[in-house]
Chains A and B, each alone.
Chain A
Amino acid sequence: MEILVCIKQVPGTSKIEVDPITGVLKRDGVDSKMNPYDLYAIETALRIKEQKGGTIKVISMGPPQAKEIIKEAFMMGADEGALVSDRKFAGADVLATAYTISQGVLKMGKFDLILCGKQTTDGDTAQVGPEMAEYLGIPHIANVLKIIELKEKSVVVEMDMPNTLEIAEIQFPCLLTVEKDIFQPRLPSYRKKVSTKDREIKIISLKDFEDQDEKRYGLTGSPTQVERIFPPSVNNDRETWTGTGAQLSFKMSEKLKQLKFV
Chain B
Amino acid sequence: MSKLICHQENVNESNIQELMDVCPFDAIENNNGIIEINAGCKMCKICVKKGPKGVMEFIEEKVVEVDKDLWKGIGVYVDHVEGEIHPVTMELIGKAKELAAVVNFPVYCVFIGHNITEKAKELLYYGVDEVFVYDYEELNDFRIEPYTAAFEDFVNKIKPSSLLVGATTIGRSLAPRVSARFRTGLTADCTVLEMKENTDLVQIRPAFGGNIMAQIICPNTRPQMSTVRYKVMNAPEKQCEPSGKITICELDRTKLTSKIDVLKITKKEVEENISDAEVIIAVGRALKSEKDMAMIQELADLLDAQIAGTRPLVESGWINAKKQIGLSGRTVKPKLIITLGISGAVQFAAGMNSSERIFAINKDPNASIFNVAHYGIVGDIYEIVPQLIEDIKNSNAQICAR
Listed in ascending order, the chain A residues whose CB lies under 8 Å from chain B are 11, 14-18, 22, 24-27, 62-65, 85-91, 93-95, 98-99, 121-131, 133-135, 139-143, 156, 159-171, 174, 214-215, 218-220, 222-232, 235, 237-246, 248-250, 252-253, 255-257, 259-262
Contacts and interface: CB of A to CB of B under 8 A. Distances in A.
Interface stretch (B7-15, B129-137, B289-297, B369-377): B369-377
B169 A143 contact: yes
Nearest to B386: A249
Interface of B: 1-2, 4, 22, 24, 26-27, 37-44, 46, 50, 61, 63, 79, 81, 84, 86, 141-145, 148, 168-170, 172-177, 179-181, 183-189, 202, 206-221, 231, 234, 258-268, 279, 302-303, 335-336, 356-357, 359, 361, 365, 370, 373-380, 383-385, 387-388, 390-392, 395-396
Given A64-B38, A225-B218, A237 B81 contact: no
Contacts of A85: 39
Contacts of A64: 38-39
A245 B379 contact: yes
B168 A162 contact: yes
A224 B211 contact: no
Contacts of A218: 1, 43
Contact of A164 (B44, B189, B265, B388): B265
Q: Which 4 A-B pairs have the closest CB atoms?
A: A91-B43, A245-B383, A63-B40, A223-B185
Contacts of B208: 11, 14, 16, 121-122, 124
Contact of A22 (B50, B217, B357, B390): B50
A89 B79 CA distance: 34
A238 B357 CA distance: 10
Given A63-B27, A161-B142, A235-B374, A122 B184 contact: no
Nearest to A225: B217
A248 B185 contact: no
Given A163-B268, A171-B259, A220 B186 contact: no
Please report whether the interface of chain A is mostly helix, strand, loop or mixed according to DSSP: mixed
A16 B218 contact: no
A167 B263 contact: yes
A215 B61 CA distance: 11
A130 B387 contact: no
Given A256-B392, A261-B303, A227 B216 contact: yes
Contact of B61 (A22, A129, A174, A220): A220
Contacts of B264: 166-167
B216 A225 contact: yes
B211 A232 contact: yes
Contacts of A248: 361, 377, 379, 383-384
Contacts of A225: 216-219
Contacts of A93: 185
Contacts, number: 305
A80 B267 CA distance: 40
A208 B340 CA distance: 64
B2 A260 contact: no
Contact of A163 (B81, B217, B359, B377): B81
Given A124-B188, A140-B144, A249-B391, A169 B261 contact: yes
B117 to A, nearest CB: 21
A223 B376 contact: no
15 contacts: A14-B211, A16-B212, A95-B180, A131-B176, A131-B177, A142-B173, A163-B84, A220-B1, A227-B216, A231-B211, A240-B365, A240-B377, A248-B361, A249-B385, A257-B395
A259 B357 contact: yes
A245 B361 CA distance: 11
Contact of B218 (A124, A169, A223): A223
Contacts of A170: 259-261
B214 A226 contact: yes
Nearest to A123: B207
Given A125-B188, A131-B176, A168-B141, 9 more contacts: A22-B50, A90-B41, A130-B176, A143-B172, A170-B261, A224-B187, A227-B202, A239-B374, A261-B279
B377 A143 contact: no
B184 A219 contact: no
Given A141-B144, A227-B216, A130 B262 contact: no
Contacts of A230: 212-213, 215
A15 B39 contact: no
Max count, chain B CB within 10 A of own CB: residue among A15, A226, A230, A244: A226
A241 B379 CA distance: 9
B265 A166 contact: yes
Nearest to A86: B39
Given A24-B46, A162-B170, A252-B377, A16 B40 contact: no
B217 A127 contact: no
B336 A65 contact: no
B86 A15 contact: no
Contact of B185 (A17, A90, A135, A222): A222
Contacts of A242: 365, 378-379
Contact of B44 (A15, A134, A226, A237): A226
A182 B170 CA distance: 19
Contacts of B42: 90-91
A85 B40 CA distance: 9
Contact of B384 (A90, A171, A245, A256): A245
A141 B261 CA distance: 11
Contacts of A94: 176, 179, 186, 188
Given A94-B176, A124-B208, A166-B265, A260 B231 contact: yes
A89 B392 CA distance: 53
B172 to A, nearest CB: 5
A106 to B, nearest CB: 16
A262 B395 contact: yes
A127 B27 contact: no
A221 to B, nearest CB: 9
A225 to B, nearest CB: 5
A99 B202 CA distance: 24
A131 to B, nearest CB: 4
